Amino acid sequence: MPNARTARLSRRGLLAAGGALGLGAVLTACGDDDAKDGGADTKGSAKSGPWSFKDDRGTTVKLDEAPKNIVAFTGVAAALYDYGIEVKGVFGPTTTKDGKADVQAGDMDVSKVTVLGNVWDQFNVEKYAALAPDVLISTMFDDGTLWYVPEASKDKIAKLAPSVGISVFDRQLTGPLQRMWELAESLGADMTAAKVTDAKKRFEAASERLRKAAKAKPEIKVLVGSASPELFYVSGTNLSIDLEYFKALGVNFVEPTEEAKKATGGWFESLSWENVDKHKADVIMMDDRSSAIQPADITEATWKQLPAVKAGQVIARSTEPILSYDKCVAPVEALAEAIEKAKKVS
């Protein structure tokens, strides 16, 4: 199977097109079992003394004290922000064309962080060095490639500060959520704060609601899509953390053909707009990232004729979930409500 490095051109093309996952669809490297079970070593944390954290590559980062100058992928920074940890710099989708916060920036005040790169393959190494970073943190869609760290400059970036990788590949959402919790706690976040504990309870309640909805209406088929000008992508459920979790809760998903999944390492199936009706569905979840065309802006007649579209049974999908319990409540509740209200139209 091709690995992330040999596949980088395909990843770039898919991202530019707002591809099905925009998750490095051809990142087919298998996950590291040891990394999946990695835990946080919070000795000293944000108090006094040394800091260390074992990431999902199995790498332990050790510093004399908890890092203060943190640089992170935008979605990671947004999750840490929800736990009270602020970063100095970010890379990845942070601002939209009109200067507003990108959906992946969450509640962060994007005017208060240094943006090192706002699009794929953009990372200002000089600005990064000027921040005197203590640590760089990103997610991973394989067993070791840091998301949105450019292949061409990754070695220069690595020399400036140690890195931490949190895996969001081939596991259920609750795993990465727990890992981000552990990371935030190690950085000094108060995980006993009412805001934090309440968010976790709301997430658990939303999950139970989705489980009940899926059990009550097993006949409702859910299709997960993403739109680009040329193609419509149907996402598979076997590798994405949100979809694996929803499937475990009982949601009945439409799956791409096995042949199509083989061509993309298991991630998705590409369809021309003429063939967008290939799969029958009652509810459609659509990629909410700025790299994808949003449902209201899709002009293709074939899309407008889909039964789920005509029935108004289309909802947004947080394709790259912000890994705080607070931000993961809404997507779970939205899917539960959609299934609860859905009419069988397929």
Q: What is the pLDDT of residues 188-222, one digit of tens each?
A: 999 999 999 999 999 999 999 999 999 999 999 99
Does position 46 have pLDDT exceeding 70, yes or no?
no
Give residue 37's pLDDT band: very low, low, confident or very high (50, 70, 90): very low
Does position 14 have pLDDT exceeding 70, yes or no?
no
Residue 86 is predicted with a pLDDT of: 97
Cβ atoms < 10 Å from Cβ of 194: 8
261 vs 122 pLDDT, higher one: 122
* Closest C-alpha to 114, from 88, 150, 149: 88
Could you tell me the pTM of the whole model?
A: 0.87
* Closest C-alpha to 28, from 314, 311, 253, 239: 239
Residue 266 is predicted with a pLDDT of: 77
35 vs 174 pLDDT, higher one: 174
Give residue 5's pLDDT band: very low, low, confident or very high (50, 70, 90): very low
Token pair of 313 as six digits: 């049974």
As a whole-number percent, the residues of the chain with pLDDT over 90 amount to 81
Q: What mean pLDDT comes out for the span 13-30?
A: 36
Q: Could you say which DSSP state residue 240 is in?
A: B
Residue 259 is predicted with a pLDDT of: 84
d(CA 326, CA 83): 9
pLDDT in tens, 148-177: 999 999 999 999 999 999 999 999 999 999
Q: What mean pLDDT comes out for the span 114-137?
A: 98
pLDDT in tens, 278-332: 999 999 999 999 999 999 999 999 999 999 999 999 999 999 999 999 999 999 9
Give residue 78's pLDDT band: very low, low, confident or very high (50, 70, 90): very high
**Number of residues in the chain:** 346
Handedness of CA 185, 29, 291, 275 (dihedral sign): negative
Does position 256 have pLDDT exceeding 50, yes or no?
yes
